[in-house]
A and B are shown apart, each in its own frame.
Chain A
Amino acid sequence: GNSVTQMEGPVTLSEEAFLTINCTYTATGYPSLFWYVQYPGEGLQLLLKATKADDKGSNKGFEATYRKETTSFHLEKGSVQVSDSAVYFCALIDYSNYQLIWGAGTKLIIKP
């Protein structure tokens, strides 16, 4: 079946550090891939998406590339800020029923 695995947190970094949060997936067919972010006490916001192999999604300085050969969709940012502290979820969409399949989430803590 479809599944998403992402690196466990919390991930603690200093401001301006480089960020990578790993995400790998297992899926039949060619799913679209997403990163969502959940700020403390808030709902889920779409951060970026990619719909086919080699697509790069980007938003707010974050990037992720859909790598079919490694079934990965790692999230990266060159210089993190304290305001990036949140929980990040990797997800794929199961086109048999359009449900999102979620990773466990990675809590990111940025220290000034």
Chain B
Amino acid sequence: DSGVTQTPKHLITATGQRVTLRCSPRSGDLSVYWYQQSLDQGLQFLIHYYNGEERAKGNILERFSAQQFPDLHSELNLSSLELGDSALYFCASSVTGTRGNEQFFGPGTRLTVL
């Protein structure tokens, strides 16, 4: 158990809908990262938050957004869903973004868009 929790574990929804994925980092970790794992694109970085502020964006679509709250939990919002958004979404956390600081991953949320 990494100490990172994600809810829900599975999510099934229809095209055009909007969903929210939730992540709670390990106690004491200030950084939260979101990654998408899909069969065709592999693992891709989406976005990084540090202590409530956005630090970096990766291959995140405009239909997707995220935020980190004062209690450091984070939410990833996916809207106008398409079939191609079906994937495993991982959240990871680390103490800070310092050298060698490994990221600890949650169990993921599997999103299926029908």
> Measuring CB to CB, which residues of chain A are less than 8 angstroms from any residue of chain B?
32, 34, 36, 42-46, 49, 51, 89, 95-102, 104-105
Instruction: Pick from A43, A49, A98: contact of B56, CB below 8 A.
Output: A98
Evaluate contact between A102 and B99: CB separation under 8 angstroms. no
Q: How far, in Å, is B79 (CB) from chain A's closest CB?
A: 23
Contact of B107 among A43, A51, A105 (CB under 8 A): A43
Given the known A-B contacts A99-B58, A102-B43, are A44 and B90 also in contact in the complex, defined by CB atoms under 8 Å? yes
Chain B: minimal CB distance from A73 (Å):
14
B55→A97 contact, CB < 8 A? yes
How many residue pairs, one in A and one in B, have C-beta atoms under 8 Å apart? 56
Query: Shortest distance in angstroms between B8's beta carbon and chain A's nearest beta carbon?
Result: 14
B70 is an interface residue with CB less than 8 A from chain A: no
A100-B45 contact in complex given A32-B99, A46-B102, C-beta closer than 8 Å: yes
> Complex: how many Å from CA A89 to CA B105?
13
Residues of B within 8 A of A46 (CB): 102-104
Q: Which residue of A lies closest to B108 (CB)?
A: A43
Whether A44 and B100, one on each chain, are in contact in the complex, defined by CB atoms closer than 8 angstroms, is no
Which chain B residues in 49-65 approach chain A with CB under 8 Å? 55-56, 58
How far is the CB of A25 from the nearest CB of chain B, in Å? 15
- A49 and B100 within 8 A (CB): yes
Closest CB in chain A relative to B88 CB, distance in Å: 9
Q: Could you list 27 A-B pairs, sorted by A, with CB under 8 Å? A: A34-B102, A36-B105, A43-B2, A43-B105, A43-B106, A44-B92, A44-B105, A45-B2, A49-B102, A51-B99, A89-B43, A95-B97, A96-B56, A97-B56, A97-B58, A98-B33, A98-B48, A98-B56, A98-B94, A98-B97, A100-B33, A100-B43, A102-B43, A102-B44, A104-B42, A105-B42, A105-B43
